[in-house]
Amino acid sequence: MKKFLLLSLVLLCAVTTNARKEGGWEKLFNGKDLKGWKQLNGTAKYEVVRGEIVGTTVFGTPNSFLVTEKEYGDFILELDLLVGSDMNSGIQFRSESKADYLDGRVHGYQCEVDPSPRAWSGGIYDEARRGWLYTNDLNPASKTAFKAGGWNHFRIECIGNSIRTWLNGIPVAWVIDDMTPQGFIALQVHAINTKEEEGRKIRWKNIRIKTRNLQPAPFDDITVVNLIPNNLSEPEKKQGFRLLFDGKTSNGWNRANGGAFPEKGWTVDNGSLVVLSSAVEKQRGGDIVTNQKFRAFELKFDFNLAPGANSGIKYGTGNNGPSIGLEYQILDDERHPDAKMGVVGNRTLASLYDLIPAEKEARFVNKPGEWNRGTIVLCPDNRVEHWLNGRKVVEYTRGNNIYRALVARSKYVEFENFGMTPETPILLQDHGDHVMFRSIKIREL
């Protein structure tokens, strides 16, 4: 009995010492077999070869996932990955597979593996659910992090509603979201389109996780995508953002043509600032503006429009009246006739209205009834950007020769110094259609 107790103490000490050496890290892959993992969805081949997990593409099968049997909530995950330039893959985390959701389809957060020229490795995609949450266009410096033809080190940090990724030590993405607080981790072998693509391989090794005594990494001053409505996260506060709409009241907003916030035509409902349909209300409230004016700024906002709706966010107003200025167009392009007017689509969603068409992809446009994320950046040097759901869709310089030529060919030709007001409020347009706004936040540049 004494020998047994002595042996137990020795083993316990050895385990404790080993844990200290590893700094609290736990290996998710033992280097020998796939114990602790299971395969879901597709039938791509997974095997262990020389201490590595090797995934091989198979034609005629959907995306395949090698999934941990255990689920994880808060954690820091690290792994090394080797993939050819002709493949696409991803690392699932806080993900799920449920019989009542797409017949068991794996869905949830994915750290992208993208060796293509697009260079979105480390970006965050919501597999089989919301699509792209964070593209590397939001953090261009991260596009050089991926090492073609070599091993790449990925790090994913999930602590509370903060989700962050790094690639080879370079910060890539930062998302604030609370949709899925825990789930499994999975290694993806992406589906292929042709028989010729069969047999391509992706390799993983050094897969480890830490789940206790987690300390967030130091602050990285990169773009933060906050998907929690009307929430201002700590990193956004550090970057200088503040809310222009508190989600509960109309404080800080008044009529564009003077006077208090409209008694009719606008309302605050369920965390949204809502312009009501004049067909229902029989009365329009008119455009509303912020009490404060801004020179250079980055404005973020979410919007959700009814089918066939028309609205917009304006800036650079004041020279020619309180509602005449530059407009980030908000429109149902399929149903509203204004999308077919103007020139080359310069009245469509996210365009600089009647001046510059937005260059957007259909898959980055959410349909009416769904929320879209917009951004307007007005820089101190008068360079301006429009963003839609993580993609830059318009860029121009206010006041240069090209800008003046565009104005001269637009409906604004008769307005002197159109859009050139040095200080501007932010205007939400009442076009008589039902549109909702939320998560309106700004920082001055």
pLDDT digits (tens, 9 = 90+) for 264-306: 999 999 999 999 998 776 678 899 999 999 999 999 999 999 9
- The percent of the chain in helix, strand and coil, each rounded to the nearest 5, is 15, 40, 50
pTM of the predicted model as reported, rounded to 2 decimal places: 0.93
- Is residue 323 within 8 Å of 333, Cβ to Cβ? no
pLDDT of residue 281: 62
pLDDT of residue 23: 85
pLDDT of residue 282: 67
* Tokens representing residue 151 in the block: 């091993």
Q: Who's near 331: CB < 8 A, 6+ residues apart? A: 305, 309, 310, 311, 312, 338, 339, 347, 348, 349
The 10s digit of each residue's pLDDT in 32-67 is 999 999 999 999 999 999 999 999 999 999 999 999
Residue 225 pLDDT > 90, yes or no? yes
Q: What is the average per-residue pLDDT within 378-396?
A: 98
Euclidean distance between CA atoms 114 and 132, whole angstroms: 13
Residue 2 pLDDT > 70, yes or no? no
Residue 13 pLDDT > 50, yes or no? no
Residue 22 pLDDT > 80, yes or no? no
Q: What is the average per-residue pLDDT within 345-369?
A: 97
Euclidean distance between CA atoms 40 and 38, whole angstroms: 7
Instruction: Of 3-12, 81-90, 184-193, 221-230, give the lowest mean pLDDT range.
Output: 3-12
| Percentage above 90 pLDDT, the chain | 92
Domains of the chain are 24-210 (2.60.120.560), 229-444 (2.60.120.560)
Give the residue carrying structure tokens 């699932």.
Answer: 92
SS3 assignment for 274-286: EECCHHHHCCCCC
Q: What is the average per-residue pLDDT within 332-341?
A: 96
The CA–CA distances, whole Å, from 24 to 55, 68, 76, 93, 165 equal 28, 19, 11, 20, 20
Residue 140 pLDDT > 90, yes or no? yes
Report the residue count for the chain.
Answer: 445
- In DSSP terms, which residues pair with 203 in a beta bridge? 54, 82
Q: State the chain's mean pLDDT as an integer.
A: 94
| Percentage above 70 pLDDT, the chain | 95
- Classify strands 225-226 and 170-176 as parallel, antiparallel or unpaired: parallel
Euclidean distance between CA atoms 76 and 123, whole angstroms: 16
**Residue 209 DSSP code:** E
* Tokens representing residue 352 in the block: 């600089």
Q: Which residue has the higher pLDDT, 13 or 136?
A: 136
The 10s digit of each residue's pLDDT in 66-115 is 999 999 999 999 999 999 988 999 999 999 999 999 999 999 999 999 99
Residue 315 pLDDT > 60, yes or no? yes
Residue 401 pLDDT > 80, yes or no? yes
pLDDT of residue 114: 96
Residue 325 pLDDT > 70, yes or no? yes
